[in-house]
Chains A and B, each alone.
Chain A
Amino acid sequence: MLQETVTIIAYAFISLLVITIYGLTLNGLVMKIVARVHGRFGPPLWQPFIDIIKNNAKRTMIYHGTMFFLGPVFRIAGGIGTYLFIPAIHGSEVFANFSFSGDLLLVMYFFFFGQLGMALGAGESGHPYSAIAVSRGLAQMTAFEVPFALSVISLAIQYQTLSITGIVSAQQGGILHWTVFTNPLATVAALIALLGMNMHSPFDIVLAPQEIPIGPPTEFHSAYLGLLQTNRAIFNLAKLVLFMNLYFGGATNILILIIKTFSIYMLSVIVGVSFPRFRTEQSIRFFLGIPTILGILAVIFQKL
């Protein structure tokens, strides 16, 4: 029993480490791509590593209160937790993570854990921009969760399970078994929702440069910022892995995982560099419009 537990925990550490490194690299890569699109040279690929090492190495002597202190901790715990509840690689013991503890519903709700904690931390910083950003973020989140939820319901009807492992194994045996081909409506609805989750333009209303720079993390610095940046890599990848599992047949090895998640992420990046920012209410209306209708259609078609 003890040995089993230790093994599982050790595997989880390995899985987490791999994903963190990949996540940071991915972030660096995307920064580079975006810079090139903008016509800039851009930072080096390893810039995110430099950032987090620098920030994490810094000591801080100030804080705004307990919740402020705990905010980044909540955030990264949320990111790590979300990732660890998703089986990353199908059939791999090392990358199965803690997926035995709950199904898709758990992951969907664990998304909120970090956001809520971070929102509280940002709130205690007392900075008005933080509060405004949180208000925007939560509002947008309720909107993009609707098409996503509908899409997930459509999957639940399709596969008659909420277990992620179950959904992935149902998609094995060829590219045409992937949800993206068997249930395109649900996939499209979910991918649009993903644009919102990734908070690239036009949905970058939370961090919103030039408007409420930089939103919730305004008062967070050094070690706090380090945690937040680390989380950004992990949480980002947790979402991508989830989408890969749900809609693109999952991955049987790390290479496929990298290829698939990179491709999924590119969608956000391409949209992000192409569109200007929405206002909050526009974003809410957008998500409750066509994507939601697509989601409802996906549910209806599955039910028929």
Chain B
Amino acid sequence: MREMAFLGFALVLLGFWAMLTRKNILRIIIGFTIIDSGIHLIIVNLGYLPGRTAPILEKGMRVGDLSKHFVDPIPSALVLTAIVIGLAVTALMLVYAVRIYERKRTLNIDKYRELKW
């Protein structure tokens, strides 16, 4: 599963590239979500152990076997939280984008420079 980690990093870099070079704030936001996805992939990958299943308790499983059957549950939990937070931040960013556009009628980040120095 190392490919997954590389993919994750690739996504992160791609996202950074988007955030740093695109002028349209919507694209920047998209870049941000791409990074987010990449990170989620990395996290999940770190907790993955080959041949094991998702850490979900089902009927008939014995408690003693849990650690042998499951992948590390903590990264999975973290990823869930991270996704929620990422969602919230993305939503907020989009709200910002909308409201900024209402005021300034432009989505170009270079035009938001009334405050500097």
Asked if A and B form a direct contact in the complex, defined as CB atoms under 8 angstroms apart, the reply is no
**A residues neighboring B (CB under 8 Å):** none
Q: Which residues of B contact A (CB under 8 A)?
A: none
